[in-house]
Amino acid sequence: MKRLMTQLLNLNGVIVEDSRQRDETLILSIRVANKKANCPRCKQTSYRLHQNRFHLVRDLPMGTYEVILRVNRRQFKCEYCKKPFSEILNFVGNRKRFTHRYAQMITEEVIHSDIHNVAKKNGLTDEEVWSMVMAIAEEIMPIPVEKLRRLGIDEISLVKGQGKFIVVWVDLETHKLVGLVPERKQPEIEKAMQKWGEEVLAKIKEEFHQIFEERKDLGTGTLELIDWLKKAEPYYKKSVKTIKRWLAEVVGYFERRTTNGIVEGINNKLKVLKRCGFGFRNFNNFEIRALLYWHFSDIS
Ligand SMILES: [Zn+2]
């Protein structure tokens, strides 16, 4: 039975010692096969068990059963530092009450639905679901921009009729959202771009598309960018030259008055996300939620 349960659990290096059933829940007591752990301070291997520490974590369901793992996160004593330390378990984060793969499953459900419905379906609270989403989001953030070559910019209205806009960055090659800026104002855009660093800015060579849906904003948008360039010049030097070249394209874009299908598609999806739950009340949460939609598949 132990062997079968271990196979069914299918967690690398983990053995099921005992299983109990209570109503629709399976409680599996597990242990890690490995008898040693590495000290986080000196990296030395220790075999000296100091203390057993059990806690419960939620794992993937088995059939119709909800699965709770009784995990022993052992404490070892380091022979060199003479101090105790907790082992690192690759399937459950420190102080987390869910396995990594469970959080991944929940996050995937959230991507195709919304926090509240996923919570209800899985017998979790909204807060629990969100903490799982955050744990998975940590793996994709920050979104890598090293390969960014063609940047598209658009804006989307926060609340209809209030004239408040956020900025949307899009990678025109991968067709993915790169990030959001909470306000369409120079200091905010500046701050967001600074995060990318000089090297990245210098690498974005080919094109720079500033795409504002409303044509009346052409003037404002361009002026803001010119202002920003002046301010940024001492810090970026080379990059600013590159951006100045993009600027010509930006203006050219508006003159041609073409629309960009890629950015438009992303904007439409953002509008859908805005409607399901989070809205824009918490900008950071909304950005995480949006980035997950486009980058969740990057997690191996
Ligand atoms: Zn040590």
- The string of DSSP codes covering 164-223 is -EEEEEEETTTTEEEEEESSSSHHHHHHHHHTTHHHHHHH--SEEEE--SSGGGHHHHHH
The vertex-47 CA angle with 41 and 49, nearest 5°, equals 90
- The pLDDT value given to residue 9: 95
pLDDT one-digit tens code per residue, 196-234: 666 665 555 433 444 333 434 555 556 566 665 666 666
CA 252–ligand 1 middle distance (angstroms): 62
Strands 150-157 and 207-210: parallel
CA 96–ligand 1 middle distance (angstroms): 24
| Tokens describing residue 30 | 């597990």
pLDDT one-digit tens code per residue, 241-260: 655 555 555 555 444 444 46
CA 40–ligand 1 middle distance (angstroms): 7
DSSP H helices, 95-185, are 100-112, 115-122, 126-140
- The pLDDT value given to residue 139: 87
CA 31–ligand 1 middle distance (angstroms): 23
Residues of the chain with pLDDT under 70: 149-150, 158-163, 185-187, 190, 194, 196-260, 276-281, 300
pLDDT one-digit tens code per residue, 220-229: 556 566 665 6
Share of the chain above pLDDT 90, in %: 42
**Helix (H) or strand (E) segment spanning residue 60:** strand 54-62
- The pLDDT value given to residue 174: 83
| Tokens describing residue 198 | 């000089």
pLDDT one-digit tens code per residue, 146-172: 777 667 777 777 566 666 777 788 887
What burial class does residue 23 get, using C-beta atoms within 10 Å of its C-beta: 0-12 exposed, 13-18 middle, 19+ buried? exposed
Locate the domains of the chain by residue range.
1-97, 98-140, 150-298
CA 95–ligand 1 middle distance (angstroms): 21
- The pLDDT value given to residue 211: 37
State if pTM tops 0.85. no
Residues contacting 142, CB < 8 A, separation 6+:
195
Residues 2 and 38: beta-carbon distance below 8 Å? no
Closest by CA to 153, choosing from 40, 264, 44, is: 264
Angle, helices 115-122/100-112, rounded to nearest 10 degrees: 130
- The pLDDT value given to residue 170: 80
CA 50–ligand 1 middle distance (angstroms): 13
CA 79–ligand 1 middle distance (angstroms): 7
CA 52–ligand 1 middle distance (angstroms): 19
- The pLDDT value given to residue 102: 97
CA 13–ligand 1 middle distance (angstroms): 23
**Residue whose token pair is 């404490």:** 75
- The pLDDT value given to residue 283: 80
CA 76–ligand 1 middle distance (angstroms): 10
CA 37–ligand 1 middle distance (angstroms): 10
Protein fold of 150-298: Nucleotidyltransferase; domain 5 (3.30.420)
- Separation between Cα atoms, residue 262 and residue 205, nearest integer Å: 19
Residue 226: which region, alpha, beta or left (left: phi > 0; alpha: psi -120 to 50)?
alpha
